[in-house]
Structure 1
C-alpha cells in the first residue's frame, strides 16, 4: 500500500498529466543544478519541468489514462508538462538539448497521442501559434471567423498541431506519426526542486 507521501505525489502527477496538453519525457543525467534551473526558467511560460520517480509516474499516467510512456520511464527522468504552446515548448527543449547534449529527449505525448523523439523534433520545427495567428490575420482579413476560432481554441486542444505534425513528417518522407497510426546523472540537489516524489531520486530502475 502506498504511503501518504507517495499517494500525494501520484495524485499531483496525475493532475499534471490531466491538465497538460502535452508532456515530454527527458533524461537529465549529467546536467548540473544550474543547468536544470536555467531550463526550467526558460520554459516557464509554456511548461513546468519536474524531476519525477518512474514507478510513481507510471501509476499517475495510468490513472490519467495516458498510454505509451512506460517504455521511456527508465533511468533518471524529468518531464516537461506543457500547459502553453506545445510547439514553443518543443522548441525550447530542442534548443537546450543542442546546447547541452546531456539532456536527452526520450519521448512524450500530445493530446493523448504518443510521440517519438523524432516527432517531437519535428513538432519543434513547426510555426508557433503566435506566428500562425499573425499569418492568419494578414492573409484572411475577410474571414474573421477563422481567426476568432484560433484565438478561442488553444493549439494543444485542437487537432491542428497533430495534423500539421503529420503533414510535416510526410513531406519529409519519414514514418507516419503515431497519431496517425492510432486511427484518427543530475546532482541529487536537483531533485529537491522537483515534485514531492523527486526526493527519493529520479532513477528507480
Structure 2
C-alpha cells in the first residue's frame, strides 16, 4: 500500500524544516546499497553533524519548490536519490562520505547545492580542502595572540636602541672633535 496524501504532506513539511538547518546538500545515487550500508553511512555522517535522508525525488522537488536556496537541487533529482545534509563541518562530512564511497564502491555523487548554487564534483572536492571551523578559529586565535607579543618585542627594542644611540653620542662627538682638530693642525 502506498503513502496517503496526508503522509506525503507530512514528509514534505519535515523535509522543508530539515533543510532550513543545513548549509550543504549532496545528492547521491544510492542504488545497490543494503540497509546495513545505509545505516553505516548514517552513523559515519552523524559524527560530523550531517544527516543522510532517503526520500522520493518528487517529495524533495515539492519541498524545495519556491526556496531559492535549495532550488538547484532539482537538476540532480533522478533515479534512486539519497540526500546528505551537512550543517557545520562541511569538509569533514564530505570526507566521511568519500571514505564510505571508497569502501563500498556502490554510490555515485551527482552533485550538491550550497547557498543557492549547484555544485559539481570538483566544487565539492574543493570544499574538502578548506580548513575546518576549529582550524580557522585556532589560526585566528594564534594571529590575535601574536600581535601583543610582536608589539611587546617592538616596544622593548625602542628603549634599547635609544640607549645605544645615546651611548654613541659622546663617542661620536669625541671623534668629530678629534677629526676637526686634526684638520686644523694640518
Q: State the distance in 2 between where 1:115 and 1:54 align.
A: 18
What does residue range 138-149 of structure 1 map to in structure 2 within 5 Å?
A: 138-142=142-146
Select the residue among 40, 59, 63 that pairs with 2:62: 59
Q: Choose 1 or 2 for highest CA Rg.
A: 2
State the 1:135 CA deviation: 2.3
1:19 paired with 2:21, answer yes
Cα distance 1:143–1:76, how it changes in 2: closer, same or farther (>3 A)? Answer: farther
Map 1:126-137; keep pairs closer than 5 Å.
126-137=130-141
Rounded Cα–Cα distance in structure 2 between residues aligned with 1:136 and 1:100: 38
Work out whether residues 94 and 121 of structure 1, in 8 Å CA contact, stay in contact via their aligned partners in 2. no
Task: Tell me, in whole angstroms, the C-alpha distance in 2 between the residues paired with 1:118 and 1:31.
Answer: 24
Is 2:133 aligned against 1:114?
Answer: no
How far apart, CA to CA, are the structure 2 residues paired with 1:89 and 1:78? Answer: 15
Alignment TM-score, normalising by the size of structure 1: 0.64
Q: Deviations over 1:118-174 (max 9, x none)?
A: 211221222211122222222332569xxxxxxxxxxxxxxxxxxxxxxxxxxxxxx
Structure 1 residues 140 and 12, CA gap change in structure 2 (3 angstroms): same
Q: 1:143 to 1:87 in 2, by over 3 A?
A: farther
Taking the aligned partners of 1:13 and 1:142, their CA distance within structure 2 comes to: 45
Q: Which has the higher contact order (CA 8 A, sep 6+)?
A: 1
Higher helix share: 2
Which of 71, 75, 78 does residue 75 from structure 2 map onto? 71
Gaps of 5+ in 1: 145-205
The number of equivalent residue pairs is 143
Alpha-carbon contact 1:27-1:75 (below 8 Å) kept: yes
SS at 1:106's partner residue? strand
Q: Take 2:129 and 2:98, find their aligned partners in 1: how far apart are those partners? A: 9
CA-atom RMSD in angstroms = 1.9
